[in-house]
Structure 1
Amino acid sequence: MNLPNYLTLLRMLLSAAFVTSLIYYAPERAYFARAALALFITACVTDAVDGFLARRFNLKTALGSVLDPIADKLLLLSGFISLSYLTNLPEAMRIPPWVTITVITRDMLIAIGAGALFLSAGKFKVEPLFVGKLTTVSQMLAVFLSLVSAPEAVRMAALAGCTGLTVLSGVFYVRMAGRMLA
């Protein structure tokens, strides 16, 4: 275990605290919304820092290459699901369920594709695509804008961009998997 891996594990713990803050939110307990925002921002920063440290100081590990995307998915999927389906949240913080379903579907397709590649080829290595990294950033931005109750037009524009990138990156990953299986 090294520092980037510890930061990744911290991000997983922050994800749980983030969702817990959203669950306990109520108008008379608005501090839970502020706590959720602070936890989400901290988790996003740990994502950037662990990646930077791993690359800059040659601290990449097999464990980190597995844990990092899991931590990303845990943070983002829990955020999308919570912001779509927790009924205690104000409308200005809500994410339409169709966005969340798109994100979940894309991630499931990628996971199924990775499983198929593993079963057919054994060990394999998939490098993240640039469009995949853009998708992650757009998803983080969409959750952030919802947490700060940004104006509806701004949130909807970000959610539309996020959804478009989510679909586009899903197509790219499916095509890449198809080429690997061929």
Structure 2
Amino acid sequence: MTSTPAEPPLVNLPNVLTSLRLLLVPVFGVFLIFSSGTGVWWRIAACAAFCIASFTDFFDGRIARAWNLVTTFGKVADPIADKALVGTALVLMSWFGMLWWWVTALILIREIGVTVLRFWVIRHGVIPASRGGKVKTILQVTAIAWLVWPWPFPLHLLGPWMMAAAVVVTVVTGVDYVFQALRVRKDGLAREKRALADQP
């Protein structure tokens, strides 16, 4: 009789990094609110909090997989922290006129839609994170950080172009996820059909 491998301890470095990212979301939000979108030092503080939080995102998952420290908490909290951080940034930036509302709506709809797609096909399989999805995350984080930082003229003009690139990749990868979800569901239904056919 084989025993199920024990889950790694809940308190480990990847989970600490994920928890730190979650804690930094309201910190970032408060700093940006205090800036009212124009206060230079508050925007610098908000950008610093955002960059530190984003920095943890590039390491918690890698460390968890490399050191075999993947936990249920990490699987659930990591994507929540990512979406909370980016979502808070987009909404507040649009609120203060730093970003068009349609951009925020488009990105949030894409993120929510991908999450719904993952749950829709979860009984058939898992939609793997694509390379395009990682590029999308990097572009979004870079664009947000650039727009929040109070760059002088003309450097601040680069922000909208960075966000435009992020939006294009966001839409393209979102469409790709739809096709992946349909493929995973189709393959899953085909396996179920074969399994029923093989039953005596």
1:114 to 2:136 alignment: no
Counterpart in the other structure of 2:20? 10
Q: Is 1:36 the equivalent of 2:46?
A: yes
* Amino acid paired to 1:86: F
Q: What is the deviation of 1:169?
A: 1.0
Task: Select the residue among 73, 86, 92 that pairs with 1:63.
Answer: 73
- Residues 44 and 150 of structure 2 are in contact (CA less than 8 Å); yes or no, is this contact kept in structure 1? no
Change (3 A) 1:129 1:27: closer
Q: Tell me the amino acid that sits aligned with residue 106 of structure 1.
A: R
**How far 1:67 sits from its partner (Å)?**
1.5
Amino acid at match of 1:53: I
Count of matched residue positions in the alignment of Structure 1 and Structure 2: 173
* 5+ residue gaps, structure 2: 1-9, 187-200
Deviations 1:19-39 (A, max 9, x none): 111111158954321210110
Does structure 1 retain, via aligned residues, the 8 Å contact 2:18–2:56? yes
In structure 2, C-alpha distance between the alignment counterparts of 1:75 and 1:36, rounded to whole Å: 12
The 2-side partners of 1:169 and 1:52 are apart by 22
Q: Which runs of 5+ in 1 are unaligned?
A: 88-93
Structure with the largest fraction of helix: 1
Q: Alignment identity in percent?
A: 32
C-alpha distance after superposition, 1:126-176 (max 9, x if no partner) = 321111111111100110110114434311210110000100110111111
Secondary structure at the counterpart of residue 128 of structure 2 = coil
Residue 4 of structure 1 deviates from its aligned partner by 0.3
- Correspondence for 2:136: 135
2:192: which partner in 1? none
Distance 1:70 1:28 in 2: 28
Counterpart amino acid of residue 110 in structure 2: R
Post-superposition offset of 1:107: 1.0
Quick one: which amino acid aligns to residue 74 of structure 2? G
Letter of the 2:26 partner, please give it: A
Question: Is the 2:35–2:43 Cα contact (8 Å) retained in structure 1?
Answer: yes
Equivalent-residue separation in structure 2 for 1:46 and 1:60 (angstroms) = 15
**CA displacement, residues 41-85 of structure 1 (integer Å, 9 cap, x when unaligned):** 110111112123113322222321222111111111111111111
- Aligned equivalents of 1:173, 1:149: Cα separation in 2: 35
The answer as to 2:93 corresponding to 1:97 is no
Which of these residues, 49, 53, 60, is aligned with residue 50 of structure 1? Answer: 60
Residue 126 of structure 1 is matched in structure 2 by: 127
Structure (1 or 2) with the larger CA radius of gyration:
2
Q: Do residues 170 (structure 1) and 174 (structure 2) align?
A: yes
Aligned to 1:24: 34
Q: What CA RMSD, in Å, does the superposition of the two structures yield over aligned residues? A: 1.9
